[in-house]
Every structure is written in C-alpha cells, then in structure tokens.
Structure 1
Amino acid sequence: LLIGQVISVRKQSNELFQSAAVQPVVDFSTLQAVLVITNFRPVDFTPLIPTTVP
C-alpha cells in the first residue's frame, strides 16, 4: 500500500535520527497503522503466475 513519496531527507551531524518530508497520497486520518520499509528490493513474481499448457 503506497502512502506517499519521500520528497527530501535531512540529517544533521548532531542528531540521532533523520527527518523526511513525505508527499502523501492517502488520507492519514483514516489509517490505523503504517509500516516504513527502508530497504525494499523488488521481487519477480512471474514464475508464480500459472501458465496454460497447450
């Protein structure tokens, strides 16, 4: 579920965490939980799609 796009990331040397500006694509008032994925690698699901046998 796509919730938004990262517009910018800010990290200062004296801070423990980074800050990110996100352009939302959903209404956050309707969400109950959000999971942030930091190391996404696309997976090819083509072998899982059944094919017809002639």
Structure 2
Amino acid sequence: MPSNAEQGRGEVYNMFLEYAPGVSLLDMMNKYGGKIPERDVNRYTQMILEGFLDVHEK
C-alpha cells in the first residue's frame, strides 16, 4: 500500500525519540503478575498523549 507521500498527498515526517533506559513493558507486566496497576497505566497513557499533542501542534 503506497504511503500518502508516494501518492503526492503530503510530506514525510520522521520522529526521532530519545533512548530512555529502564524497564520494558514486559518487565513491568512480569513485576505485577501480568497486570500493570491502573494508576501506572493512566500515568503512562497521559505522558504518551501529551507527547502526541506536542508533535501535532508543531
């Protein structure tokens, strides 16, 4: 399936992310027996959405 840029309908954007050392999602799931606490899910989801908002505002 051709991308929008290949079809001449837009620009291509690349997002480069910083490496953030720490635990992986799998590590977190193993730590909590397969279920990450809701408060942590809410916190991580909020951070991700704030990042998306920042990218889309630029």
State if a TM-score over 0.5 links the two structures: no
Larger relative strand fraction: 1
Q: TM-score, normalised by structure 2?
A: 0.22
For the pair shown, the structure with the greater C-alpha radius of gyration is: 1
